[in-house]
Homo-oligomer: A and B are copies of this chain.
């Protein structure tokens, strides 16, 4: 089985070894309750139809093509629905995380206790036994941080380190308000490194929507472009600030196959090399000169196409890339039961990889090793 003989989605699922989904979200009841209580974005409101709708993206409520948000059904909060989704897609283990926008829009006094509650709830959910012996399902968790409070975030990390089913955190790029290259935010990275807890960096805010023009393009511009741009800006700022120089054992996982950082690796390197101040400030150029920054990171495989996924693996090594679904987002237009095209597209991207070892690794053994999962 090689790219030339065209492996299929079914082939990938038949490969030995576990299938692990590292990018799969849930809105926990404690978080849903909080979002229901809000009058502003992010919020959940009851539409005239009686249906609950979720409006989460910045400015989403201002554009007529997106103001109604999206219906929020069981796939957003119900664990049994998540397990059913895993069953349908032959996923053995899921590393579940709170869905965006997490807690960075909250005052620290609200965010800190809510993070503690959510993380405990996640641990409880993940600690249960699911499925029978024939089709056992395993859940692990990535916790959340009250990032507007550095002290609260450090405490939350210490709390998470004591929970046997939690494997790190997932957070946005906002930090305490000035992004992840803010020197005041560094104690969070220091503590995560010290505790060996990976940090999954996930976009939410995108870039200013004035860039998107006047056409009614729904969520396409912000989700297809704004999200990966935000991730890329964030990791670039982290690199240029020297965070990876100071915390070389920090494990960062980048959403959506690294945003677009892998495609820009050469350009970024060239820009740094041609700026004497920055190239002297950094310990290494962020490119293929060994050892390198992008090769020290981890990535999900949520790229929806074989070409970028292959180039990511070419660049950083296939052993740093991990399957994900982004569930419950990108559901089928016609109901959530049955197989999701978005998931099969990501399986299909894996099917386009160089060889079976790469496919097995990305499908699950990488995640099991990187996140220490027992599957």
Instruction: Of the listed stretches A89-97, A134-142, A218-226, name the one at the interface; the rest are far from the partner chain.
Output: A218-226
Map CB proximity to B onto A331-357 as digits: 1 under 8 Å, 0 otherwise: 101000000011001000100000000
Question: Could you tell me which residues of chain A, from 212 to 240, have a CB within 8 Å of some CB in chain B?
Answer: 212-221, 223-225, 228-230, 232-233, 236-237, 240
CB-based nearest B residue for A349: B266
| A278 touching B217 in the complex, CB below 8 Å, given contacts A304-B267, A305-B269 | yes
22 CB < 8 A contacts A-B? A182-B213, A208-B208, A217-B240, A219-B271, A220-B278, A221-B233, A221-B236, A224-B268, A260-B263, A262-B263, A265-B308, A266-B303, A266-B305, A266-B307, A267-B303, A270-B304, A270-B342, A305-B315, A307-B311, A307-B315, A308-B311, A310-B314
Chain A 269-298 interface 0/1 with B at a Cβ cutoff of 8 Å (1 = within) = 111111111100000000110000000000
A9 on the B face (CB < 8 A): no
- Please pick, from B263, B267, B273, B345, the residue contacting A311 in the complex, using a CB distance under 8 A: B263
**Which residue among A181, A208, A224, A276 has the maximum number of chain B CB atoms within 10 Å of its CB?**
A224
Q: Are B266 and A228 in contact (CB under 8 A)?
A: no
Q: Does A1 contact B (CB under 8 A)?
A: no
Do residues B236 and A232 form an inter-chain contact, with CB atoms below 8 A? no
Query: Which residue numbers of A lie inside 8 Å of B, CB to CB?
Result: 65, 178-179, 181-182, 207-208, 210-221, 223-225, 228-230, 232-233, 236-237, 240-241, 256-257, 260, 262-278, 287-288, 303-305, 307-308, 310-311, 314-315, 330-331, 333, 341-342, 345, 349
